[in-house]
Amino acid sequence: MNLIELLKSCRYGVALTGAGISTPSGIPDFRSPTGLYSKYPENVFDIDYLYNNPEGFYRFCKEALIPMADAKPNVAHYLLAKLEQKGYIKAVITQNIDGLHQKAGSQNIIELHGSIYNYYCIKCLKRYTIDDVKNMLSKTSVPKCSCSGMIRPDIVFFGEQLPQKALSEAEYHSINCDLMIVFGSSLLVYPAAQFPYIAKMNGSKLIIVNSGRTGLDHICDLKIEKELSTFANEFFSSGSDFLN
């Protein structure tokens, strides 16, 4: 069966997305030759790095994270929004923090690792926006709250637990779906990589669309070895009747 046939026959589709869906939008991944780790320390997303070297982290934030807000969704993001609109998928579980699914029009998005758009004070928990922090960083190296506490992004650093609400929602969809489509994830980072496995163990079909091998190629029902924007453009062309 091809992907369109699987989508037509499913009653409860779910998508899981990783960094590969956003690289065509100009957002670098981590480990490629031009990825974030080619320019910044590999521990830049460790929670200890944030607290021990806040100036270094916020230099990275100013140069690499905040500019992500200017990125535009690509055709693969729009494809998932269209599949949700047509009722083929019920939710998008994402490892990404860039907010591009929202920009493309997806509605039911579970952000496992938080969002670059949200910040909070580590002392009093007051909430801040990305624009607040961007303005602060034009005047200081580390943004501080009015209570003097450091402001941090509401993302999940290595060394921190994923938010329980997001985990519970992702697990619920993984248990109940009968089709899971993975877009642009190597499926090597846990706990995100456990959700396709949970889906498969509960009887779901598993489709992986990724350029390169993944950690779960050996259990998937269909592997499509393509760059995501190429795949999405081809899908829109071949599935035009299906999507209308």
Residues annotated as part of the active site: 113
Q: What is the dihedral of CA 98, 83, 227, 4, to 10 degrees?
A: 160
Q: What are the backbone angles phi and psi of residue 72, rounded to the nearest 5°?
A: -110, 145
Report DSSP state, residue 5.
H
The C-alpha atoms of residue 27 and residue 114 are separated, in whole angstroms, by: 16
Question: Read out DSSP for 153-192?
Answer: EEEPPBTSPPPHHHHHHHHHHHHH-SEEEEES--S-STTT
Question: Read out DSSP for 54-117?
Answer: HHHHHHHIIIIIGGGGG----HHHHHHHHHHHTTSEEEEEE---S-HHHHHT--SEEETTEEEE
Q: Is 125 within 8 Å of 152 (Cβ atoms)?
A: no
3-state secondary structure of 133: helix
